[in-house]
Structure 1
Amino acid sequence: MARMVSRQDLDVEVDFYGWCLQDVDDSMVPVSFPEGFEPGAFLTGHEGRLDFASAGHTHTAALAAEVWDGAPAAAGRGDGWDEVAESRISCSSGQLAVWAVAAGPMPAYVQLSDHSAGWRVRAHCRGREAVRELAREGVPEGVERYLVQFWPDDA
C-alpha cells in the first residue's frame, strides 16, 4: 500500500485562466511557460512542466501537493472532483516552481525529492463552476481547489 511522504499547501495566483508547475532547473525545460499553454485543457504535460487550465480568469487557487512512495488510491468525479487527469513529468532539480501566465514564477515551490527524476502525476480540481462565476465580479480566494499527487515513475 502506498504511503504519503509529504504534503504542501500553497496558494496559486492564477491569471489568464492558467498556471503551471515547472522544473526549477530551466535548462531542463525546452519551452518555458506560458509558451504552448492550451487554456482549454485541464492538465497538459510538457517536458519539465505541467500546465493547468483554470475556470477563472484571475483569482487565488488553493493547491495541495502530495508526494507518495507509490500510486495513491484513485479518486474521481464521483468523489466530488470536477476534473481528474493524469500525466508524467521529468524533474531533475527535485523542485517545481509555481508559475502564472502573465506574472511568471511565484515564490512558491513544490518539493518532490532527490531520489527520482521521473514522476507520475494525478491532478484533481473542484470549485470550477463557482470560480467561473465569482471571477467575473472580483478576485476570489480559495474557491478553486487543486490536489496534485506525485509518485515515482518506477514505483
Structure 2
Amino acid sequence: MDPEYYATLQLTNKSDVFSFGVVLLEIVTGQPAILNDPEPTSIIQWTRQRLARGNIEGVVDTSMHGEHDVNGIWKVGDTALKCTAQAAEQRPTMTDVVALLHECLELEAERNHMNAGFNTVGSDGHVNRYSGYDTGMSTNVSESS
C-alpha cells in the first residue's frame, strides 16, 4: 500500500503507480509482496538491498533461467523502484512508466532478434544453424549433432 495512504486515507493516481511498482517487482523477482527473509520484509526493501550490491541476477526470478536482456531487466527493476518511492511526487506518472516499459520491451525484442534462428540437419548429419539477421543473407554455422 502507498505509504501516504496510511496518513491521508486517500487513494490517488500515485497510489496506483506505487501498487503497480510492487506488482512489477513481484513479476521480476517471482517473490510475494511480503517475504519472510527470515523476518517479514517488503519486496521493495528486499529488492533495493540486492540491487544496491549491483547484482541483478540475485533479484531476477530463477525460473527465467537467464532468458532475458540484462539491461531490460535492470530498467524494469529501476522503473519499479521509482514507482515505489516513499514520496508520491517522486514517482513517475503511469504514462512515463508505460514509456519506460516500452523501452524494456524493445531491448528484449532486440535480444530475441539477435538470438533468433532455426536449425536444420544437413545431408552430412550435422546441425546447421541459420541466423535471422535482416541482411538478406543467412549465416551458416555447423555444429555437431
TM class, shorter-chain normalised?
under 0.3
Which structure has greater helix proportion?
Answer: 2
Greater Rg, structure 1 or structure 2?
2
Which structure has greater strand proportion?
Answer: 1
Q: TM-score, normalised to structure 2's length?
A: 0.23
Q: TM-score, normalised to structure 1's length?
A: 0.22
